[in-house]
Structure 1
Amino acid sequence: IFFVSIKLTVPLAYFYILLILVRELCEKFPGSLYIPIQTYLPYLASVVSTMQKSSTFVEVWAIIEALFYICLRLHIQWLQYKDPLEASLSSAPMLELWERRQLWERIMEIETDDPVSFVTGWFFDQDLQHITRYDVLDFVAWSMFEGRNQEHLTGDELGQLHDFVDELEWKISEHLNRSDSLIPEKNTDKNEVGDNRKDNQETPITSEFTQEKNDLDLSDGISSPRRDQGDRPRNQFRFPENVDDDSPDFFTNLYENYHNWYEQTKDRLENSDFHPVQGIRNYMAEKRQQIVEKEKNAMATASNLAENAYNRLVSPGSNMDKQLMALSHATQSQLMDAWNSMVEMKERLETAKFVSSKRKVLQQQLRGYRHLLDSARAMSSAIPSNQMADLMRKITQCNEAIERVEWSARDAFVKATGYARKNILQRTEPQRYAKYSHDPLLGISTYPLMFHLLILGVTDGGLRVILRRRGFERRTMGPIAYYFHPGSSDHTEDENEELNDEDREMTPIVFCHGIGIGLLFYLPLIDEMLRLGRPIFLPEIPYVTGFRPWQSP
């Protein structure tokens, strides 16, 4: 009820603005507007009269509330159309391979206990067997490679991406085999359990994934510590492959091969001075001329005989006569169908030429963009995020254009062969996962400006007072604001004895808070960190702090 009443402030502000507008119009046009209102709407006229004594502060506040609501909605709409890739690239520099490797190993150490839940949790609890390798590659590319797609990665980064997925499969294999070993078996002792492991008997858990017996190749370039130590998993899990994981090129290759075959055949025929279409037409014309000449010769000698014989055998207008005429027309229609088939072949050839030339141009552009991407990533100086995002968008546009060429080739194939579209190979849609930077902003509540100021005063204002009393200093560095405490050496003798060499160097602590009302919720933890005596950095993160949507990137 409290939040509903707070949200009603905005419509009340708009209603108050409407009353102000009516009051001003009545003062401007008393004869044409105010008098009719007094006559037909006396209650509204009394409200307008009361508005003459309204407070200027209330009127200004109502207008500010209305303008704030409009600006806030426009800002949220602008965030919907903001490029998430450019925002991800501008938030932090792209990691080097060794930095990303360290981060991945840290994640794998944390998720060792249950990597299956780690994967399925991101895919909205989808069953593991329904998640393909392409889905996992797309997820890891987004999460570990600054929100990029797979086509935005260099060759080395693509190799690292596949290494990460292989290591994740290894972790899942270890987890599933460990779960399998915990299944109780009747009338077995420890030796029998070991024998059963050697026999590699199937269990309800191991039947869910691929049964591959100790044939894992450790020389595939993966440098995972867990793969180099300990026993191999008895059965290795593999994410199911998808038939359309690669770029779509089935129908495009079909037409391009048809075009290449035609060009090769044309070259062979041109060497022998033979043109297929023109040759068939000349052949048909020569045969027709020969038939005409033979008919003239035969007509001169046996016209009467043939006519008399036909009249004796076939009565004019009879069924036999009609069937013979139909047979003659059928022969002509077959010749026309043969010629029309030549025309359709010509259309297919034109489609093949278009598909082949279009794809060659797009592939050439794509190779140029990818070469530029490799050069940009190899440069020591950082490329501006907007330029890098623009280059990656062009790579995506090239891939989408190649995909559209594939769909046009498929439609032409359906038209030429008469196959139903539903009988053509259907593309499997990838599984959806929690892609926060790309998902639309849904369910954002907008509150009045006074409510924002109240919460901001309690949280941020109170936080500044509390941290200042604890010795923190608020500093800014560009758009980033943070609280800094220099630390202290006020430790007891017992605490000083427990400090190791690294602690004596006063390594600073950087604490980043999570989603909530900011640092105010973590004051007990901050007090514990103060006891360590180290310098402390507490950055403000307004993007995950409630009631601050206008400060989002």
Structure 2
Amino acid sequence: MVLTTSGFPSIIGARGFDARTARNATLLFGGALLLEGAFQYAMRAKLSFLQSKNPLEESLKVANVQSLSKRQELWERTMQAVSTNSSVVGYFEDWFFGRSYEELSPDDLQRFIVWCFFDGRKFHQLVEEEEEQLDTFLVDALDRADRELRVKATMKTIADQNYSLRRASSSSKTNSQPLVEQQRISNNQESEFRVGRKQKRVVLFNKAHLEHNHRQKRRSSSTSSTSGLSDDASISCHLLSEEHDQDLESANLSVEPRLTPGPKGRPAEHPKPQKRPRKVRFSPMPSRDTLRASMVRTSGTLRRSIVRTRDTLRASVLQTRDTLKAGVLHTRDTLRASVARTVNLVFQPFGRPTADPLLGIHIAPLYVHIPAVLTTEIGTPLILWSLGFRKHRVGQMTYYYRQGTGKTNETTPLVFIHGIGIGPIAYLPLLLQVLKSDNSRPLLLPEISSVTAFRPWVMPKDCLSSNEVAANMSTMLHNHGFSKATFAGHSFGTFWMSYTVKYAPHLVAGLVFLDPVCFCLYDSLLTKRTVYNPPDTSDVASLVKTDMMVNWSIQRNFSWVEANLFVEDIPESISVAFFLSGDDTVAPSKVQEAYLRGQRDCEVYDLDETANANVFKRRFTVVSFRGYDHGLWLLNPLKTIPPVVEAMERFS
């Protein structure tokens, strides 16, 4: 930079400095765009590679082929749970995306049962014994559904009959006056009618008599009138008197028949006389000023009405325009999402995530991956190292271990397994509370690399099957001199807990499930929310679910038969605590709570009840975080984490 004598940069130096800065910024921006393009190209190539793999082959790698007896037991448990908590008809309708059960054919149900209970295979891939078992499953399902429909129809008929009976009883109560009261009312009405009719006849008779006397007086007065009147006047008066006499005679004739005696001396009944037309009275013509004032008032009222109508129409048009605009935008977004899903989705009449293409994948830009990688690969190890954890590896699994201050043989370690997200560091408030409560307890944190988002280098070979998970857990504990441990996990981590309970139950001293997803997997709600519902890419939490390997872990490296856990699978010597989010938008918490309420030796509590009572005294204890969404209870650590830590300590 060139400076002048006054200390300010010269124009040439300033221009040169600006040019160099702009050139460097352009090169930097161009390099960033080139790097972003190369990254996106590599990620799309990886996605194409994953989509090209055979879904059935990948699913069978993680699923152990079941024996006929195990499959029969799975079917009976599933149907029993479905019949108890909901209905078989609703179970099939939910998996077929809301289609009515009457629209489903036996072939549709057969294809669904083959995919669901026969390891994701198709009908032509079954052996003869499996085909016979499939027939028994189909007949059982149809019988259960038909029985539910008959019961529903019977209940509807009974309800309609009860409603008709209630309507009939209410109407009879309303119209049930005694016969004596009705007879008394009718007699009173008849007597009042007779008295009124008699009084009317008397009035007419008196009127006719008075008019007759008046006519006689007029005739006598006309004869005694003076002779000084002119002939024309006398003639006109005579004519007027005759016309008046004729009117009186006609009135008398109309009244006289009413006075003729009828049977038993009573007046005879005759129709009423016709009423004379009313005279039309003409009001005087209003003045000009009155008309002008009236016109001014009318025009003012009309003008105000027009203005109000105009304003109302204008507001209505604006509101309609905004509504239509919002509707068009919503429809556009919905169609875009539907088209994007339909391009990669082979149509199926029911949901089968292990056979459909990978759905809901969104490749995040490089500026999102870089901070996430720095957090998981540098930030997490440093923070955990500062807390006393050391990083270890068993096979393809990485875990963090903290020895604790107590003796190894006297304490039961705690194994905490994280869920989908950015690894164990997301549960730092819970880990700090555990260390504060019992610093002498050993703590192990396995890391699930396939569901730790934004790791572009993770491949399908890094995903572990159920047998590999159980083997790694056993090796991890034995390497540090432990034979048992209390296992706790959140969300996807409960799948690893399920694998351990099924294939290595001797390692489990206690279980603490946080927002579990391993229960009630036969319900379609979890599959719809995680696979088929389009994600919201504007939300960072939802953006994690769109990661490529996260979707691979859910749709390919997953078998619901292996991951699903029934209460009967848990040994009776193990105590279990369940923490469910009341407003969970991922896991079917309400279905799970209903399922657990039906178990023996189970107690359900709200979060507020855990502070004043010893709640973890049953074999199964359920604590509901009312008003919390999936995992958001971590944002209120002072209220929600203490009962979780208490459960972990109780099962140690």
Smaller-chain TM-score bracket? 0.3 to 0.5
Q: TM-score, normalised by structure 2?
A: 0.31
Structure with greater strand percent: 2
Structure with greater helix percent: 1
Q: Looking at CA atoms only, which structure, 1 or 2, has the larger radius of gyration? A: 2
